[in-house]
Amino acid sequence: MSGQAIGLIGIAAMLLLLALRMPIGIAMLLVGIVGFAVLNGPTAALAALGSYPYSYSAVYDLAVIPLFVLMGNFAAASGMSRDLFGAAYAWLGHWRGGLASATIVSCAGFAAVSGSSVASAVTMGRVCLPEMERYKYDSGLSAGTVAAGGTLGILIPPSTAFIIYAILTEQSIGKLLLAGVLPGLLLTVLFVITIMIWTRINPALGPPGPVATLGERGRATAQAGPMFGVVLASIGGIYAGIFTPSEAAAVGAFLALLLALWRRSLTGGKLSEVLLETVKVTAFVFLILIGAFFFGPFLALSGLPETIATWLTSLDLPRFVILLILIAIYMVLGMFLEGYSILVLTLPIVIPIVKALNYDLIWFGVIMVILLEMGLISPPVGINVFVVKGLVPNVSMGALFKGILPFWIAMGVCVAILIAFPEIALWIPNAMTR
């Protein structure tokens, strides 16, 4: 049996294990070890099993993951989410649909200290949804706004998805984090424009709120100021070359801790909860990475990724058409698989194709993360949709997905803009190296 056939069998086995609800990290580890044993012998597979988990996880650069997760958890515990929403609402609340627009902006702000779409959706949803309900906002608009705004958590740095992508593709973590800044702001603006258009067509969906005075706006902005200081110190430190990504994460986590202590919001029980949640998320991500470090080499050894890349590039198709095919595949996968699963399963196959087409891997990482965002709100899986559904059980799934559709289209527009103008994603990373 050829190596390519063994690789295809391995992928089929992986999908079967996922269908049986085996955790993605364990499934990749199991398939990778068995496939490695078949292709390279049981002795080599056992040797890899004894050395890979430690050698690949005991890497300094990986410290960025638990530290950024800890920073986000401290930020949530400190009450930053309510401050962000208050500031955004003071400036935008008097617009038609202003509460929804303020929700998007505050989600973007919280994403800058969170790195998690689910955490952003849950945290901001608890703050924003009651306010939109109080002002009689349409339930589909309000729930869709929170679900879509939460997805910004994996695009605006610090992003766990970018970190995993950087590690698996051997790209610079710092460059990838910075590459998400302008696309994240672009998508935030597109979401706000979507709300403005939607509420102009049907003003009853999101009535305007009261106009805040200049003094009220100043006080609300000052209240949210410490959060901007945390972001500036961590992400700005990476851009300025003062910190490595791991150092920036440590500085951000420490500043978020000081902020939580200053506000006296971190009791003993809350501290235990924050640390336990950080350990859980870190263990989940590390298990996925360890599994990927077995599954990826197995596929590479089978020769399947190179064969697919050679076949695709040999077709008489423009490279733009091949890129569109890849985008369509990711959109379909996003309907059925969780984002991290898509990331680690497809990268060993897709990256050789992207390299053969001479696309920039930093730019492609941004495109891929936005496609993962689309999957977060795509039926029938759409993790963010079900998270928000848990916050508003009285809203039907039909109304939820109807409320999400305009934001999903806005994400597609964002992808199209980045394809037409790739420098939007590459300008800051390239400026970093000048």
48-72: average pLDDT? 86
pLDDT tens-digit readout, 124-142: 898 899 989 988 999 999 9
Output the six-digit token pair for 316. 């008489």
Alpha-helical (H) ranges within 41-95 are: 42-57, 64-77, 80-92
| pLDDT range class, residue 434, cuts 50, 70, 90 | low
Nearest 10 degrees: Cα torsion 107, 111, 114, 115: 130
In contact, 137 and 256? CB cutoff 8 Å: no
pLDDT score at 367: 97
Tally of helices (H runs) and strands (E runs) in the chain = 21, 0
- The mean pLDDT value of the chain amounts to 90
pLDDT at residue 433 above 70? Answer: no
pLDDT score at 67: 92
Cα 398 to its chain centre, rounded Å, is: 25
Q: Is 26 helix (H, G, I), strand (E, B) or coil?
A: helix
In contact, 107 and 120? CB cutoff 8 Å: yes
Return d(Cα 381, Cα 292) in angstroms, integer. 22
H/E stretch holding 406: helix 397-420
| pLDDT range class, residue 93, cuts 50, 70, 90 | confident
